[in-house]
Amino acid sequence: MGTSLEVNLLAVAAVTILAGVLAVALAILSIGLLRRSLRRLTAMVTELRRHPLIGALPAEPDPLLGALAGELNGLVTDLRGRVEETRKRSLDFECLASGPPDLALIGTDADWGVVFFSRGAVALAGWPAEEIAGKHVEALFEPGEWERILPKLARRSLRDAGISECLKMVRKDGRSFFARVSIAGLPGDGGGMLLAARDLTAERELEARLRESENRHRRLVEGMGDGVFLLQEDRLVYANPALARLLGAGHEGLEGAPLRRIIHPHDLLRVLDLVRRAQSGAEPAGEIGCLLASAGPNPVEVRLAWARAEFQGRRALVGTITDVTRRAGAERALAQSEARLQATLNSAGDGILVLEEGGRGLEVALVNHAFCELVGLPREGLLGRPESDLARLLRDRCADPAAIERMLADAAAGREARAEGLELARPRRAVLDLLAGPVLSAAGDGLGVILTARDVTGRVDGEREVRRSLDDLGRAKIDLEAACRGLASAKKDLAERNDQLVKMNAELKSLDDMKSSLLANVSHELHTPLVSIKGYTEMILKRRLGPLTPEQERGLGVAQKNIDRLIEMIDNLLSFSRIEKGETQLRLEDVPLWQVVDESIEMVAERIRRKSLSVITQYETDELVVRGDRVKIGQVLVNLLTNAIKFNREGGRVTLAVRKGARGFLEVDVADTGVGIPADALEKIFERFYQADSSSRRRYEGTGIGLSIVRDILRLHGCSIEVRSEVGQGTVFTFTLPLARDQHLSTSRPRSGRARSET
């Protein structure tokens, strides 16, 4: 329609030009000379106007008209070429405007009326071009769709730049479909718009099928019991829920995580090396057993398999992780069970051999060490041998081959068979009891035969020996019965004596309790008056009750010395009595040890001066605060210092050293330069009432319970005491004390390593 219109317009223009040329020619030529030629020329021009593309003007004999006809023919030829070119361009424009058949091109005026409808639009919407022409473009869309994009089209910037939307369009028959619609303004000031629409039905169906396929694939992968992952550059870009369950982590938390996060450190380097080789193409696929870094208490044992793939245009690895913990555990348990079974069989004294169905009938499947020794063959030489070979081996070694064959035949038939007293001649003489029975499954089906061989050589030989010894035993029985009668009489006498000892033990315990009570009461009753006597004696010696003669002072000094000795003995007896009765209770506190040391030295200072001794204290550690009973620790130090003074020589030395001991303890040494202790007495000096010299003319007085009290007090503190001595060189007592946790009291102690002496 558009092409015909344009051709007609061009033809009219050409005729108009020709008419102008003719008018000029008529003005130049004389009317008289050209009248006849003009009539012919007019007839030709009339024919030319009727069809401008037909031929050319004929030649004119008149020279003037001939030149004019030639010019007109040239003009017509040029006009014919331009008309043909215009027609071709019009056809090209019509093809371009129609567009591809699957693209609808719709042109509208400023009021959105349809002015152009391409062939693709006709195929898409089902409207003929002549019917849709002039209608509002909204008729092509579902109700509400056009109103949705009108606000955008109202903006000039969007109109000029164009917009693209997914809209729901409607065909002439009322069927709706989704289309991708692009809208842009046409050049010029007319305000027209051009719409390009493409049907998305097939594309959407394809996308729906693709999504359904992806969903099925995802459901398949996510429903798998094995872990599935996608790896790029040593990082997880996908992990299914099964892998998250294996690791004990959230599914989303795994995406983007490095591979080292899910592999146990024990296998990490090995796995990373294999993964990098796969990514480089050296080993594009493979599998490995490894451990996962599970959040549980135990790592998960898995089988990891991988293969190269592409994801989003980049190289990747897709892999599966199968939990083989139970299977591996079952395999290990099976191997352990087989090992235990083999160990059990090997530890059995009887020979055991099991035959099971194989490719050649019954074959040896299991044999223990004892059976191998009986037949003189190694285990490898028996395993896998058929029943016929086993029967031949036994027949060659047995004195009664027929018994062997009958027994194996009965066992193969499902019956238990026994053969006793069969003698083997080699590899050594042996007498065997053989038992063969079927091996049955849980359903009662026969699986094979088990053969048990018990070596009864010793029993048979022993029975012969027993028979020879029966007579001797009969005679010995008579002698034994007589001895039993004597033993019964002796047993009766022993029971009577035992009853007497029980009664005596009860009496001794009662006497011991009475002794302890008497000792405690007497010691307590003696302690009070002695303290008073000591006080008055000290007052007299200090001349608070009047002057003294030298003889009186000497006598009172001797009395005071003996009073002190009696008080010390009574204190020890009281402590001994309380410890023996279990009445001693510790009052635990943090005690600065150097203070107790100083107090103890002060208590025995008079004795030190009498013997002209020097006392040296050495502190070899900064931690000197102990946890214990201050009074009891002081009693330990006083008793040890008293012994060191008592058994020392005149002008000798007593050394008290403190150092760090085992963890949580101090070690304290109390050393003297005295007479020493004999080696045979070192193990006895801590016993109660023990004295190295217990004769009536002994040189050193004492009760023999001081060291026993020291040991008991230290035991109550969880500590110990040891002694080292050499006769004539002196004695060293070493004991431990528990350290206090808080050592802040040790800030005022003597400087470490500092020594002091008292004379």
Per-residue model confidence (pLDDT) at position 659? 92
> Shortest CA distance to 460 belongs to which of 427, 433, 488, 494?
433
Task: Return the top range by mean pLDDT from 150-159, 557-566, 631-640.
Answer: 631-640
Domain at 100-199: CATH code: 3.30.450.20
The whole-angstrom separation of Cα 117 and Cα 344 is 96
Lowest mean pLDDT, pick from 285-294, 559-568, 733-742: 559-568
Please check whether the two domains, 100-199 and 329-455, share a CATH topology.
Answer: yes
The DSSP element (H or E) to which 614 belongs, if any, is: strand 614-619
The pLDDT value recorded for residue 21 is 47
Confidence class for position 598, pLDDT limits 50, 70, 90: very high
* 120 backbone φψ class: left, alpha, beta (φ>0; ψ -120 to 50): alpha
Maximum average pLDDT range among 47-51, 548-552, 690-694: 548-552
Is pLDDT above 80 for 186?
A: no
Torsion sign (Cα): 475, 481, 482, 484: positive
Please give the backbone phi and psi of residue 198, each rounded to the nearest 5 degrees, phi first.
Answer: -130, 130
DSSP-based three-state secondary structure for 55: coil
The predicted-structure confidence for 397-433, as pLDDT tens digits, reads as follows 776 667 777 777 776 666 777 777 677 766 777 777 7
Confidence of residue 758 (pLDDT cuts 50, 70, 90): very low
Mean pLDDT along residues 6-25: 49
pLDDT for position 24: 46
Q: Which of 528-532, 585-589, 679-683 has the lowest mean pLDDT?
A: 528-532
Q: Average pLDDT in the 48-58 region?
A: 54
Confidence category of residue 246, pLDDT binned at 50, 70, 90: confident
Q: What is the CATH number of domain 586-756?
A: 3.30.565.10
Better-scored residue on pLDDT, 704 or 402: 402
**Which has the higher per-residue pLDDT, 11 or 248?**
248
What pLDDT sits at residue 250? 62
Q: What is the pLDDT of residue 55?
A: 55
496: pLDDT strictly greater than 50: yes
pTM of structure: 0.34
Least confident of 58-62, 192-196, 237-241: 58-62
**Residue 12 confidence (pLDDT):** 47
Please give the pLDDT value at position 130.
87
Topology (CATH) of 329-455: Beta-Lactamase (3.30.450)
For residue 633, is pLDDT > 50?
yes
Among 131-140, 154-163, 527-536, 585-594, the range scoring the smallest mean pLDDT is: 527-536
pLDDT of residue 617: 93
The stretch 42-68 carries a mean pLDDT of 59
Chain-centroid distance, C-alpha 128? 74
Q: Is the pLDDT of residue 658 over 90?
A: yes
pLDDT at position 454 is 79
658 near 593, Cβ under 8 Å? yes
Nearest Cα to Cα of residue 702 among 692, 717, 712: 692
| Torsion sign (Cα): 155, 159, 165, 169 | positive
Residue ranges per domain, the chain? 2-96, 100-199, 207-323, 329-455, 477-584, 586-756
- Portion of the chain with pLDDT greater than 70, in percent: 73
- The CATH number corresponding to 207-323 among 3.30.1220.10, 3.40.50.2300, 3.50.50.60, 3.30.450.20 equals 3.30.450.20
Q: What is the pLDDT of the chain when averaged over all its residues?
A: 76
Angle at the Cα of 631 from the Cα atoms of 626 and 634, rounded to 5 degrees: 75
Task: Assess contact for 195 and 220: CB atoms under 8 A.
Answer: no
446, 414 Cβ separation under 8 angstroms: yes
Q: Which residue has the higher pLDDT, 87 or 510?
A: 510
Residues 6+ apart with CB under 8 A from 671: 644, 654, 655, 656, 657, 730, 731, 732, 733
Q: Are 325 and 333 in contact (CB under 8 A)?
A: no
Q: In CATH, what number does 477-584 get?
A: 1.10.287.130
- pLDDT at residue number 648: 92
84-112 confidence digits (pLDDT tens): 665 655 554 455 455 577 788 888 888 88
Per DSSP (E only), the strands in 57-192 are 103-108, 114-117, 163-170, 176-185
- Average confidence (pLDDT) over 663-681: 90
Q: Over range 684-698, report the average pLDDT.
A: 61
pLDDT at 3: 42
Rounded to whole angstroms, the Cα distance separating 45 from 58 reads 11
Residue 678 three-state SS:
coil
DSSP string, 171-191: -TTS-EEEEEEEEEEPSSSS-
Cα distances (Å, whole numbers) of residue 525 to 34, 518, 532, 574, 631:
188, 10, 12, 11, 22
- Taking only the tens place, the pLDDT of each residue in 445-476 is 777 788 787 777 777 777 778 888 887 888 88
Q: What is the structure's pLDDT at 635? A: 85
Q: Among 43-57, 542-556, 631-645, whose mean pLDDT is lowest?
A: 43-57
For the chain, state the CA radius of gyration. 64
Residues 284-330: pLDDT tens digits? 888 888 888 776 677 788 888 888 888 877 888 888 888 887 887 77
Predicted pLDDT of residue 616 = 93
Q: Report phi then psi at 594, rounded to 5.
A: -65, -30
| CB-based contact 133:114 (threshold 8 Å) | yes
Name the region of 144 (left: φ>0; alpha: ψ -120 to 50; beta: rest).
left
